[in-house]
């Protein structure tokens, strides 16, 4: 049975009162809380998201690289996978990823469901196979029961696994940022300095790529429009989107939501701070050098984009066997 849940953000309720009035139409839209979800799939997907047994080592989960306590990422330049392999690219945040036009930096997955199966079978990430992951799940009695309850099927397949994970990830939106409250009419939600940063963000051209609800994630752009990007990492050789050499460094524009939490920045994690990221983006994409005051104003604006982080009870993962463990004597 599908359960529908319609949620209305508290700030939207406030905005209907006489004390607030919507700002004039802006190129950025407020984040909306999740509108419709299948609660049973969400609860199952939450377990799978945190379960390291989907990996070959039994050590790596989705949350390892997309840590929900760390802005939905791992705060590493490039992520560490199976056998401590260093990956070639920075892990994008999972927060608000349902708003992306496609998934992964190169957009090779059309949606969250298509993306969820990738890391499980990637030899440099979780390093399992879909067959192995399903065999593990089918060996866990509680999972067998829960999958049957949720999907009304006798056999677990990777299709149900990725569907459940994707449904959980749809809930990972972050509404109610201070900037959103300003958009909804609360003139005191951001400071004069932060508003100057937003005006500069618009007038200098950042808004051309970073717009909409996610403030990014809705187009592919080449990194290094005015000046070529000088990469210093294994990601230097990546040809994004089409695989053609002409499209090297062409990536999905990252969301700027919660950006103060998702350092280091860029596809290769080469920018350690927002100050450095703003400076490089101005130089490479806009042909503009922001002075220290302008840079600080833009950074101040970017910090207003941190919304309410996902809050939920951590899942208790089912035991690998239905046998009751026997107490061990003290050594």
Q: Which two tokens stand for residue 36?
A: 């419709």
Enzyme catalytic residues: 125
Residue 31 to residue 272: CA distance in whole angstroms: 26
Residues 225, 313: Cα–Cα separation, whole Å: 44
Residue predicted with more confidence, 173 or 331: 173
What's the pTM? 0.88
From residue 147, give the alpha-carbon distance in Å to each of 45, 47, 151, 163, 285. Answer: 10, 12, 6, 11, 47
Residue 34 has pLDDT above 50, yes or no: yes
How high is the pLDDT of residue 249? Answer: 84
Average pLDDT over residues 21-37: 86
Domains of the chain: 3-30+177-305 (1.10.760.10), 39-170 (1.10.760.10)
Quick one: pLDDT at residue 248?
A: 80
Q: Does pLDDT of 220 surpass 60?
A: yes
Band of pLDDT at residue 3, cut at 50, 70 and 90: very low
Q: If residue 126 lies in a helix (H) or strand (E), which one and from where to where?
A: none
pLDDT reported for residue 244: 73
300 vs 12, residue with greater confidence: 300
Evaluate if residue 166 carries a pLDDT over 50: yes
């Amino acid at each position: 049975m599908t359960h529908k849940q319609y949620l209305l953000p508290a700030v939207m309720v406030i905005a209907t009162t006489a004390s607030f009035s919507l700002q004039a139409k802006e190129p950025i839209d407020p984040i909306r809380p999740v509108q419709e979800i299948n609660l049973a799939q969400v609860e199952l997907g939450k377990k799978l998201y945190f379960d390291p047994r989907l990996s070959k080592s039994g050590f790596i989960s989705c949350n390892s690289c997309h840590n929900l306590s760390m802005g939905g990422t791992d705060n590493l330049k490039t992520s560490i996978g199976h056998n401590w392999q260093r990956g070639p690219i920075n892990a994008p945040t999972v927060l608000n990823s349902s708003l992306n036009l496609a998934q992964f930096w190169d957009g090779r997955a059309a949606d969250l469901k298509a993306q969820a199966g990738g890391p499980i079978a990637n030899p440099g990430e979780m390093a399992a196979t879909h067959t192995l992951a399903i065999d593990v799940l089918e060996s866990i009695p509680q999972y067998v029961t829960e999958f049957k309850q949720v999907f009304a099927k006798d056999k677990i397949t990777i299709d149900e696994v990725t569907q459940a994970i994707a449904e959980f990830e749809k809930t990972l939106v972050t509404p109610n940022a201070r900037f959103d409250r300003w958009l909804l009419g609360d003139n005191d939600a951001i400071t004069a300095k932060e508003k100057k940063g937003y005006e500069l963000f618009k007038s200098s051209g950042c808004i051309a790529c970073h717009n909409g609800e996610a403030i990014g994630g809705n187009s592919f752009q080449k990194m290094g429009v005015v000046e070529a990007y000088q990469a210093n990492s294994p990601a230097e050789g990546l040809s994004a989107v089409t695989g053609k050499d002409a499209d090297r460094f062409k990536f999905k524009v990252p969301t700027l939501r919660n950006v103060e939490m998702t350092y280091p920045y860029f596809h290769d994690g080469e920018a350690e701070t927002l100050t450095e990221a703003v400076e490089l983006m101005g130089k490479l994409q806009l042909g503009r050098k922001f002075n220290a005051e302008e840079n600080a104003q833009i950074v101040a604006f970017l910090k207003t984009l941190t919304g309410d982080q996902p809050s939920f009870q951590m899942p208790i993962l089912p035991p690998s066997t239905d046998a009751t463990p026997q107490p061990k004597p003290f050594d």
